[in-house]
Amino acid sequence: MRILLVEDDALLGDGTRAGLRLAGYAVDWAQDGEAASVALRGQKYDAIVLDLGLPRRDGLALLRELRGRDVLTPVLILTARDTREDKVAGLDAGADDYLTKPFDLEELQARLRALLRRAGGPPAAALAHGPVSMDPAGRRVLRAGQPVALSAREFTLLHDLLAHKGRIRSKSELEESLYAWGEEIESNTVEVYIHHLRKKLGADFIRTVRGLGYVVGES
Residues at the site binding Ca ion, with contacts judged by CB under 5 A: 8, 51, 53
Cis peptide before 102 (omega within 30 of 0): yes
Instruction: State the nearest-atom distance from the C-beta of 75 to Ca ion, in Å.
Output: 15
- Closest residue to Ca ion in the complex (CB): 53
Q: Which amino acid is at 184?
A: E
- 106: how many CB neighbours lie within 10 A of its CB? 10
CB 27 within 8 A of CB 3: yes
Nearer to Ca ion, 27 or 206 (CB): 27
Nearer to Ca ion, 56 or 118 (CB): 56
Instruction: State the nearest-atom distance from the C-beta of 54 to Ca ion, in Å.
Output: 6
Nearer to Ca ion, 54 or 132 (CB): 54
Instruction: State the nearest-atom distance from the C-beta of 8 to Ca ion, in Å.
Output: 5
Nearer to Ca ion, 50 or 163 (CB): 50
CB 53 within 8 A of CB 79: yes
Nearer to Ca ion, 53 or 94 (CB): 53
Give the separation between CA 59 and CA 18, rounded to whole angstroms. Answer: 22
Give the separation between CA 78 and CA 63, rounded to whole angstroms. Answer: 13
Instruction: State the nearest-atom distance from the C-beta of 9 to Ca ion, in Å.
Output: 6
Give the separation between CA 162 and CA 143, rounded to whole angstroms. Answer: 14
Instruction: State the nearest-atom distance from the C-beta of 7 to Ca ion, in Å.
Output: 7
Backbone angles phi, psi at 134, to 5 degrees: -130, 135
